[in-house]
Amino acid sequence: MEMLATLAPLILMFVLFYFLLIRPQQKRQKAVTNMQNELRKGDKVVTIGGLHGFVDAIDEDKIVIKCGDGSRLTYDRQAIREVTESASGDMLSK
């Protein structure tokens, strides 16, 4: 019984860490991966570096972004932080 009393705070701390830190991070990562897999040509995106542009072409693991001055830049698909407007014109919430 004494051993259970000494382990209870440790178990409680692990449970709190799981529900407050680990689980929300897993949900965010799953949502980001889902967003990156559903990219389409014409989507307005923002990269992790802050570049705003439109998706011009998509490959297996690369993406070509068309910038404001007409230049095209190639990025890894994982470099996309968010889609600000889908190709159909719907605004996505942040």
- Which pLDDT does position 2 carry in this prediction? 86
DSSP string, 69-84: TS-EEEEEGGGEEEEE
- pLDDT averages per 10-residue partition of the chain, 94 residues: 89 95 96 93 95 94 92 95 83 51
Query: Could you state, in order of their start, the residue ranges of all structural domains in the chain?
Result: 1-37, 40-94
What is the torsion angle, in degrees rounded to the nearest 10, for the CA atoms of residue 93, residue 81, residue 34 and residue 29? -100
pLDDT for 92 equals: 56
Note the pTM of the prediction, 2 decimals.
0.72
Q: Give pLDDT, residue 4.
A: 84
40-94 has which CATH code?
Answer: 2.30.30
